[in-house]
Amino acid sequence: MTGTPDDRLRTPDPSRAAGILLHPTSLPGPFGIGDLGPAAERFLDWAQAGGQSLWQVLPLGPSGAGNSPYTSTSAFAGNPLLISPERLIEENLLGRDALWHAPGFPPGRVDYASVKAWKEPLLRDAWQGFRRAAPAELRDALAAFLSAPAQAPWLADWARFAALKARFGERPWTDWGPDLAFRDPDTLAAADEELSDEIAFHGFVQFLFFRQWAHVRELARARGILLVGDIPIYAAHDSADVWANQELFELDGTGRPTAVAGVPPDYFSATGQLWGNPLYRWDLLEEKGYAWWIARIRSSLAACDLLRIDHFRAFSAYWSVPAVDRTALGGRWVPGPGRRLFDAAREALGALPILAEDLGDIDDDVRELLAALGFPGMKILQFGFYGADSDYLPHRHTPNCVVYTGTHDNDTARGWYAALKPEERERVWDYLGCDGREVEWALIRAAYGSVAERAIVPLQDVLGLGSEARMNTPSEPAGNWCWRAPADAWRPELAERLRRMAELSGRSSPRPAEASTRER
């Protein structure tokens, strides 16, 4: 055996990785919301310096009700608000003076209404700039994007849906009149002709989003960082997906849901969570070979390296609530598609690099499904201190899982700790060997030391922030999804602390200089 003991501790284990959970909207920057421009590249530089090899994001679609990425108006489209104005200037789609008069957005929080009011005209200016003077190379790239097989299942319907939403003052599709709501072919053809310019604009916006996202992915790969995407299991009712595929959902003759999704009472709510999404007609999806779901997984995996599926337990059985109910208490469990969906997806797509969000009311059927599929589940350290010998504590972990200090639905580590009961705090002290100071770093150390192959930490915990930095509080309809990292988030000393901890636990990626040497 060669090398010093310290050298051996620093040797990365290829089966182990560390990462950061950070949605792009939370990146710092001057334009009211994080985007796919220079701030994303600075984050990737910092993450690489910190020995990180995973960047987990939330769903990237256009945000819907409550600005939630989990109620997107499309399961396939990208969020226009994430498009970087600076990258548009670099491609000569906007003049260099376009950003001089950007409003003074509030620091540290996303004001979605203000950002949309400013950015949408900017994107329309970019569209006009493209039409006037785009070089042939960019025009060819747009044409290739619009005609690519990967876009065919969704792009035309999304662009049409977005144009019609604007025409009808953002009202839901069930209020567009029966001919449009139920997609009468002659009426759709007339709308396509009338709204052709608007439809073309929305196709162009999607081109911009995916072009910029592909650039971010290239930057990540060059730094040895894999992107972890996220898809909600359910589609929003007021979405292009439900409007264009009504037969696949439990809807009545008016297009409204007959039963909706949710979960029974849980850690977050005594009356359960009533999400309101229409439920799938799994029988019809199976008849069609799960084509819509396979297209969705294919599209998501084209944009990321691994894919987290939210609320995985619903593939085993899902909580069905009558649409007229005001809480989730009156729901019932209904069998889901089980492994049949994933067997069909594997046959169509090959290996599925999927992470399963297996939190909540989990029974043996869910565990058996997860084991049969071989997908890693999630272990949330915050959940481990409410009882004796919890499965969420590191000594109960298995290699095939992903450990988190917390997720976007949890309070930050500091906020969580501040709200604990005395006996729970004592359990934290005893288990983590800390006195409560820097409890977030004690949790990070415990996560990194776990046998779990992947450890992912919300950026808020690395920064040591309290409840003011919480991303989402389930069952609360307002005030979520707004947090943004401070401008000084990418401090070298934090990156070095992460790297040292990753090195000691066999999770570190090569240092930037080492990576450059190897590439040469």
Catalytic residue positions, numbered: 310, 357, 409
Q: At what angle do helices 112-133 and 136-147 cross, to 10 degrees?
A: 120
Nearest to 373 by CA among 358, 385, 394: 358
Query: For the residues of 261-326, what is the DSSP string, one character each?
Result: EEE-S-SS-TT-EEEEEEPB-HHHHHHTTTHHHHHHHHHHHHH-SEEEETTGGGGTEEEEEETT-S
Q: Give the separation between CA 69 and CA 230, rounded to whole angstroms.
A: 10
Q: Residue 380: what are its φ and ψ, rounded to 5°?
A: -105, 115
Structure-token pair, residue 385: 């201190």
Nearest to 388 by CA among 434, 430, 451, 433: 430
Q: Give the separation between CA 172 and CA 237, rounded to whole angstroms.
A: 9
The identity of residue 385, as a single letter, is: F
The identity of residue 253, as a single letter, is: G
Residue 518: enclosing H or E segment and its boundaries? helix 512-519
Q: With the CA atoms of 18, 24, 28 and 32 taken in that order, what torsion angle do they form, in degrees rounded to the nearest 10?
A: -170
- Exposed e or buried b for every residue in 465-497, given b needs 16+ CB within 10 A? bbeebbbbeeeeeeebbbbbbeeebbeeebbee
Q: Give the separation between CA 74 and CA 311, rounded to whole angstroms.
A: 18
The one-character DSSP state at 87 is: H
**Residue 332: strand pairing partners:** 320
CA atoms within 13 A on the CB side of 419: 11
Which of left, alpha, beta for 481 (phi over 0: left; psi -120 to 50: alpha)?
left
CB 212 within 8 A of CB 83: yes
- Residues 6 or more apart whose CB falls under 8 angstroms from that of 103 comprise 32, 114, 118
Q: Give the separation between CA 352 and CA 375, rounded to whole angstroms.
A: 9
